Structure 1
Amino acid sequence: MNDYIPVSEIGERSLIKRLSGIFNVGCNPDILIGSGTDDCAVINISEDEYMVVTTDMLHRKTDFPVLMTPWQIGWMSAAVNFSDVASMGARPIGFLSAMGFSKDTDITFVEGISRGMDDCAKFCGTSVIGGDIDTHDELTITGTALGRVQKSELLTRKGANVGDKICVTGFAGSAGAALHAIANNIEIPDILLNKLLEPVPRVAEAQKLARSGAVTCMMDTSDGLAISLHDLADLNDVGFRLEEDSLPIQAEISEFITSNPDILTEFALYTGGDFELLFTVSPNMLEIVQSACYLNVIGDVVGQEVGTSITCRNGQNLTINRKGYLQLGV
């Protein structure tokens, strides 16, 4: 008899790894990347293109703050999936959603969610193309996004080299700071609040980066910057050295965090929900990607033996811990 192991103890990433070992993708030569190893599965569909596919499940209690409007719930449900498509350098081509509502849910609430999904799909250049509806004790939304990418432009989590620059689009820690403000009844401007409630999938930036030919690996930061760095480090057998002064922290965060400046770095490293792109670039190609989209260079790829760390403003080097936003109660 197997020992009892609750899923809350094993953790999301470990469970995904265990389950991925069960699924046999080797029998289908058209599957380039299967479950568990990247942001999307990658399927061979033609001589020149791959299709990428991803799915994500969201719940009322854990993923949608109480103050979210139905439209924002719908937008986020689509955005989290389109962010995964973007991380592969792909162009979104469709979105499907399975939605579970309690029997007494107001129809206008459901319509609001659907409009949010539709607007996010339009923003990403595609449409909602189908799905399913059922009754459920808790609002639960599962989204599935599809994308296409030229084979020569596919970006994955693997490919970082020692000496590469590590870059991120947008800001780090904004969504986490907004969630902190909500939990502590701190008034913040909409420009910061919307980083949490209306995340913008970086589909346009991702396609420009893919076409540049300068990016060596890429993923999104939905679970947080620190844990994403560790994911890339493990897969590429490298380490990362970040510079604290280079962390792109939104100015509005500093305006309500005045008592403890160190917490700004904590937000940037260890909170999730930003849905930015984290990627590595060959140093001699940096100017090319800087002309392709807005980005921040936050550090360098170093040897695996160096580990993943951050150089603080006072000159001290600190280890970046393997933690971030995870499901399954961890």
Structure 2
Amino acid sequence: MKLEEIGERAIIDLLRRMFDRGQPHGIGDDCALVEWGDQYLLITTDVVTQRAHLPPTATPYQVGWFLVSINLSDVAAMGGYPLGFVAALALPRTLDLAYVRELARGMDDCAKEFAIAILGGDTKESGEIALAGTAFGRVRKDRVLLRSGARPGDLLAITGDLGRGGWGARELRAGSHVDRATELLMRPHARVEEGKLFADSGAVTSCMDISDGLGTTLGQMSQASRVGFEVDWAKVPVYTEVRALPTTDAQSLALYWGGDYELAATVRPEQADALLRTFQEKHHPLALCGRVISAPPNALIVDGRQETFEPRGWEHFRSEPLKP
């Protein structure tokens, strides 16, 4: 059986069964958890490859920013405070040194944005660019956010807006708005402050970052919490350029493409208004666009009609990457 026949999710399930040793919090959240006094040490890693992630229009600075930001997005999803970052860089021997300088500058600027440092790493020769980043963070044990914990009646909250990554990919494939589209794809902003607000509020029962599309995100949260979701399409915060598209196209980019790195959280209904006020005071957009129901399948409400909200999105080994 080939990996392309089963996809990334099934591969992760296989590895989880092999590696999970019955830890209090096992494999399956955005970060690994290590006991650290009254806190957890958060550890996450993400690989960026030339074929799967890097459009030919991406500058090395953007690539460096992207590598750090997508890892910090996982720390944000757990309600964590970032501590540091290390990277392993596999690079072709023919690559210009100027590329490495700009790559490092992008990494460093993103790290500075979140008040951490690049602490070290490794470099190796490779046939093509492949970059592995590892971020560390911390969170109080009584405030950690997991993918599990949602309960029927909780409300669904989403930071920012969805569809920027999808719109960027669509425009790049069409060869239009190239600079803007590349920037949207390669310069996500990890929602670290929003994750901290979620954790500190005591209102949030579960959380996950939206890296591969809301469809697959809610599918995984649904499985972790053994609940379902009902989402109102009209209330989903959608990137302006995407909302203007025909509904089918807009849903494809906003719900199923990915690359937005926003946060999806479930919120206790009696604390939702207070959480919204906190986000407004901090000038962080937050939208309530659905609710938790007792069981799957997940549902999408469109113009008063209930449709199946498919648990799909970007999936490595199956989805078609951007090509030069």
Q: Which residue of 1 aligns with 2:282?
A: none
For residue 19 of structure 2, give the secondary structure of its aligned residue in structure 1.
coil
Measured in 2, the distance between the counterparts of 1:322 and 1:218 equals 16
Aligned 8 A contact 2:55 2:182 in 1: no
Q: Aligned to 1:235, which of 224, 227, 235? A: 224
Partner SS for 1:181: helix
1:45 matched residue in structure 2 = 36
User: Among residues 94, 99, 102, which one is paired with 1:104 in the alignment?
Assistant: 94
Deviations 1:216-263 (A, max 9, x none): 0000000110000110111111111111111111213356x4xx3431
- Aligned counterparts, 1:52-67, within 5 A: 52-67=42-57
What SS class does the counterpart of residue 296 from structure 1 fall into?
A: strand
Partner of 1:33: 25
Which residue number corresponds to residue 291 of structure 2?
300
**Is the Cα contact below 8 Å between 1:98 and 1:141 reproduced in 2?**
yes
Quote the offset at 1:189 in angstroms: 7.8
1:157-210 Cα deviation digits (max 9, x unpaired): 0110100100110111111111011101233783x6533120000001111111
Partner of 2:257: 271
Partner of 1:119: helix, strand, or coil?
helix
Identical aligned residues as a percent = 34
| Residue matched to 1:179 | 169
Match of 1:223 in 2: 212
Report how many residues are paired: 314
Question: CA contact under 8 A between 1:205 and 1:292: conserved in structure 2?
Answer: no
Residue 291 of structure 1 corresponds to: 277
Contact 1:32 1:43 in 2 (8 A): no
Q: In 2, Cα distance between the equivalents of 1:178 and 1:106?
A: 27
Q: Give the TM-score of the pair, scaled to structure 1.
A: 0.91
Match of 2:183 among 194, 199, 204: 194
Which residue is 1:317 aligned to?
Answer: 306
Residue 163 of structure 1 pairs with residue 153 of structure 2: yes
How far residue 83 of structure 1 moved from its aligned partner, in angstroms, is: 0.3
Contact 2:111/2:118 (8 A) holds in 1: yes
CA contact (8 A) 2:68 2:107 kept: yes
Alpha-carbon shift at residue 302 of structure 1 (Å) = 0.8
Q: Which residue number corresponds to residue 15 of structure 1?
A: 11
Give the root-mean-square deviation of aligned CA atoms: 1.5
Offset, 1:321:
1.2
Q: Which residue of 1 aligns with 2:322?
A: none
Structure-2 change in CA distance of 1:141 and 1:279 (3 Å): same
Q: Pick from 114, 117, 120: which aligns with 2:107?
A: 117
Q: Distance in 1 between matches of 2:20 and 2:232?
A: 41
Contact 2:83 2:137 in 1 (8 A): yes
CA contact (8 A) 1:240 1:299 kept: yes
- Note if contact 1:32-1:44 (Cα within 8 Å) is conserved in structure 2: no
Distance 1:63 1:208 in 2: 30
Distance 1:6 1:276, change over 3 A: same
- Aligned: 1:93 with 2:83: yes
User: Residues 268-300 of structure 1: CA distance to partner in whole angstroms, max 9, x if unpaired?
Assistant: 111110000000001100022212322111111
Q: Structure 2 CA distance, aligned partners of 1:120 and 1:15?
A: 31
Q: Which runs of 5+ in 1 are unaligned?
A: none
Cα gap change, 1:291/1:193 in structure 2, threshold over 3 Å: closer, same or farther?
farther
Amino acid in the other structure paired with 1:213: G
User: Please, which runs of 5 or more residues in structure 2 have no aligned partner?
Assistant: 280-284, 320-324
Distance 1:121 1:172 in 2: 24
SS at match of 1:114: helix
- Residue 21 of structure 1 aligns to a residue whose secondary structure is helix
Moved more, 164-173 or 261-270: 261-270
Deviation, 1:79, is 0.8
- Cα 1:166–1:302 shift into 2, 3 Å: same
Rounded to whole Å, the distance in 1 between the matches of 2:135 and 2:58 is 22
- Report the secondary structure of 1:121's partner residue: helix
Q: What letter is aligned with 2:313?
A: G
